[in-house]
Amino acid sequence: MAGGGGFMDQSVLVVKNDRSVCERLAEHLGRSGFRVRWATSLVQAEALVFEAFGLLVVDAHLPDGDGLDFGQRLRCYMGCGVIVCVGKEDKALRIAALRGGADACLRAPVDPDELEATLISVHRCLHSPAPNPLPVLVPSPWMLDNRQLMLRAPNGRCIVANPLEHRLLLTLFSHPDRRVDRISLVAGLAEAAPGYTEARLEALVSRLRAKVVKKCGLRLPLVSSYGHGYRFDGYVRLM
């Protein structure tokens, strides 16, 4: 299927755990006029998100995290179309992906022609005339300066983190999907403050949120992850 002129400028980020599949899909889509970048893990994908992508193709499960969460985060910042790839028999996951905001869900192994047609369809839906279309923007990250223990918000304002706040943020920022369970967080904080408890962790998070709102004028995207721990929903960069 040849790509029409309206699709020639479309950029696609493909995130799948098989390098050969990524290369095959990139070659096919490239012949149809798409500009394709690809990654085989969330760590690699995160390094590419400071480019603007109009479309994302992502495996639901990746070696270092949850592709569904990654797709939701990328869509929040870029407004890109999201196509999630799941196993043939995983009906519950396909439903969860669509309910979670995916524009389409394809069964793996993905057929290149079907993927191309799906990308065109999603692009067409996202770019239909609208009263106030949103611009596609490269996300501004939350930056953590490890030397000065400083957290810089996307609006440029900063706070100086105390050692426990810094350790908490560093643990979350260093995790591929920015999500860490409470037990691991408490254990890490206990290395600096012996006898640390979950109650103290919750108090630390509450104080840090309030501190960021007061000093930076933004809500810290540090949220409770039900049944797991805490996750950081914003884009991040370590300095």
Mind listing the pLDDT tens digit for each residue in 43-94? 999 888 877 788 999 999 898 888 888 888 888 777 789 999 998 777 888 8
Single pTM value for the model: 0.58
State how far the Cα of 232 lies from the Cα of 222, in Å rounded to an integer. Answer: 5
In this prediction, residues 227-237 reach a mean pLDDT of 82
Instruction: Report CA Rg, the chain.
Output: 20
Q: What is the pLDDT of residue 6?
A: 41
